[in-house]
Structure 1
Amino acid sequence: MRTVLVTGPGGAGSSTVAAATALAAARAGARALLVTADPPPGLTAPQTPGLTVRTLDAACLFQDRAAELQQRLSTVLELLGASPLDPEEFTELPGSREFALLHALGRTDGHDVLVADLPPVGSAIRLLALPEQLRRYLGRLLPPERQAARALRPMLAQLAGVPMPAEWLYETAARWETELAAVSAVIASAATTVRLVVEPGPRAAAAIRTARTGLALFGHRVESLTANRLLPTGSADPFLAGLSGQQQKYLKALHEEFGADGVPVRELPHLGRDPYGPDELAALGGPELAVEPLPDTPAGEPWSVEDRLAADGHLLWRLPLPGATRETLDLVRRGDEVVVDAGEFRRIMPLPSALRRCTVTGAALRDGVLRVRFAPDPALWPQ
């Protein structure tokens, strides 16, 4: 399945671009699914054969999961003398919309193309990182080997004199792991790409530079940058000409920055208002928003290890981080993992097997690539 994740700085029009992208895929003959919390006005499935618009119902999903958890905890609540909550008492909590979006990413119902309208780019990067982080937490708190010893828990409880985790806890953890793995597979697929949407200007340029670093840190591939709401050039109106000139200056900088990495910049015009209905959405982008097919396989890691043992006595781990600066980067090793801080984003990554038997001897950022040097540990490296 082809998946397009659409995001950008808040107010750049990413929801409109997501809708136009899904529409373009449907009109090209694909079974397209648009997942959004804010469907564009006038876009309905009956008007567009092949297009399904799924509006997130975060409140309903939260209520269902909260009621299920309360049911699981009913025995404990009774022992504590607590009164269960009625279904109408469950109110949506902050963050439930993001969880609803992740839930939708794992349920595509046999569509050919999934277009996800993500929140603003900083929140989107954290959201896409969440399945990996939660799976890591589950693995640490409820490791598989502990779950495998279910038959021994009653005996262990008697020997230890303390109650062991209930069966429902391990069943719930296993179900969460299955759901998170399905979402992670979609995010990590080579057929999943990110479309960044920006309205060229000074604030947008800084936000996009930060976004590129965060997306690269988590291994997401930026397919294209959409420069949205471009004003016409050559206007006789001095005010409009001035605005357009400023916009063109930042647009040129975006072409240079992204073009250097082979990322195309798509240009969409300013219509003077938000598009209404499928025809206006289709006129907005046309071929600029076409969804190209890609292999539906796990994506390869963007990081590589270079063997320099013979020449320099070390291995070199390369981590592409476009837009990063030395001042915003930090790297710490913890056991067989490394913690990488890139500005406002942090990722904990397992080291490749060869590097686990080495020690970190240095790191440098050059041309948007973090290069980390590892020297073999004599106590662990075979002679």
Structure 2
Amino acid sequence: MAEARSGRRVLVASLDQAHSLGDALGFRFAHDPGTVTGVARVLPGLDVIEVDSLALLEDRFRDVVRMISADRGHRHGVDLAALDPAELTGLPGVQELLMLVEIAQFAAEDTWDLIVVDCPPSADMLRIVSAPDMLLGYLERIWPPHARAMSAIGTDLRRAVLAATVERIAKAVTEVRDLLADHRRTGARLVTVAERVAVAESERVRSAAALLGLRLDAVVVNKVLPDLERPAGPAGAEHPAVQWYSSRRGEQADVIAELRHKLPGIPVLIAQHTGAEPIGLNSLAALSYAVDSAGNTRDAALMLSDNQTEVDAGSREPAVRRESGTGLQSVYALRMHLPVVDAATLRLGRVEDDLIVGADGVRRRVRLAPVLRRCTVDGAELDDGYLVVRFRPDPRIWSPMSESDGYDR
């Protein structure tokens, strides 16, 4: 609301399949069976859409499903045509990917200056963000690019069309992954409440965001009680309700202070409790004014400063350098930003040219630099918010040219 009020063209897109965006706005979207809900304008400069993943699946991939179901002939090797169309809805991440591709297409247009994506709760949100890497990993192993290229130029017309279609899908998903990882264009804000359990969850989300390469802009603490102006008089004369309010306000202040301590460098913004639930455009507009004036000036300035630092640092992709030695005695270190909350959850694995990193309930495949693909893992440690994995050359495949192949000195 505040961005639209400032003159920017804003699109709010909801990925939450509970479809509560319309309820919050007091606006009813048309959800006709078998159709994709379009963009609706609710105010000048403010457009909204509730993205329906099931409708997208029907609309965007109807032709692909028909093609797959039509070709039941036997094939040697990978035969994607053997899939039943209904199975597509059960493939990991398909619905999430369709929604992300839709958002990426909106971002590629020149219609809006800002796209705000309303995501489901944190666990589902992290699954959505990790979907592009998951699908690309599946494609890489099940139907690699070279195999798709051979099918695309083969004599089987249906398979050639299918290969070209899958290639277009892979290209679209790659664009989504790159958009999410682009810290100059994409950031995330975590909305939480001033409860003790929310501190640990916020820390885990920060850890997961770092692992997935997502920039966390700020944490917004919702429903914070405003300061109470107490009337003059002896403390013992206070009404029990006033005592409860003061105690609860103090607990919230302690939680906010702990959040700022546990999440250094990430602004913690305050959205004060408005009393009645803000439903409808007028109430939400009033809330946007209240948030702007809720004492967030210092944190907003900090956010601008941190964002510039983050942009300068790029997307914080893993950096590789040689620590010591030469030739077969070299020691290389891969260093990646990973503020792990619970070190006991850290898991590392190696699958061919990828390093599998898991922490705080999230896992990511990290493609190794060429020099590290000729090495074996020698050890790993956590160092002040970073994961450091050390490698030594594998004498069976090492060559002198490996030393200068793909790492930061």
TM-score under structure 2 length normalisation = 0.73
Using the aligned pairs only, state the percent identity: 30
User: Is 1:307 aligned with 2:289?
Assistant: no
SS in 2 for 1:275: coil
Q: 1:300 to 1:99 in 2, by over 3 A?
A: closer
Let me know the Cα RMSD of the aligned residues: 3.6
Q: Deviations over 1:162-185 (max 9, x none)?
A: xx9723321331231132123223
Equivalents in 2 of 1:241, 1:124: separation in Å? Answer: 34
**1:217-366 paired onto structure 2 within 5 Å:** 217-234=211-228, 237-258=242-263, 260=264, 262-286=265-289, 287=292, 299-310=314-325, 313-366=330-383
The answer as to whether partners of 2:323 and 2:330 remain within 8 angstroms in 1 is yes
User: Is 1:188 aligned with 2:197?
Assistant: no
Flag the structure with more relative contact order, 1 or 2, with Cα contacts below 8 A and sequence separation at least 6.
1
Cα offset, 1:283, TM superposition: 3.1
| Partner of residue 27, structure 1 | 5
The answer as to whether partners of 2:378 and 2:391 remain within 8 angstroms in 1 is yes
SS in 2 for 1:361: strand
SS in 2 for 1:364: strand
Cα offset, 1:47, TM superposition: 5.3
**1:33-72 paired onto structure 2 within 5 Å:** 33-36=11-14, 37-39=19-21, 40-42=24-26, 48-65=43-60, 67-72=62-67
| Partner of residue 100, structure 2 | 102
**1:92-131 paired onto structure 2 within 5 Å:** 98-108=96-106, 109-110=109-110, 111-131=112-132
In structure 2, runs of 5+ residues without a counterpart are 29-39, 75-85, 231-237, 404-409
Cα offset, 1:41, TM superposition: 2.4
The answer as to whether partners of 2:154 and 2:160 remain within 8 angstroms in 1 is no
The answer as to whether partners of 1:202 and 1:250 remain within 8 angstroms in 2 is yes
In structure 1, runs of 5+ residues without a counterpart are 1-22, 80-88, 158-163
**1:118-197 paired onto structure 2 within 5 Å:** 118-150=119-151, 153-154=154-155, 166-190=159-183, 191-197=185-191
TM-score under structure 1 length normalisation = 0.78
Letter matched to residue 124 of structure 1 = M
Q: 1:298 to 1:250 in 2, by over 3 A?
A: closer
Q: 1:250 to 1:169 in 2, by over 3 A?
A: same
SS in 1 for 2:25: coil
Letter matched to residue 207 of structure 2 = T
Cα offset, 1:362, TM superposition: 1.0
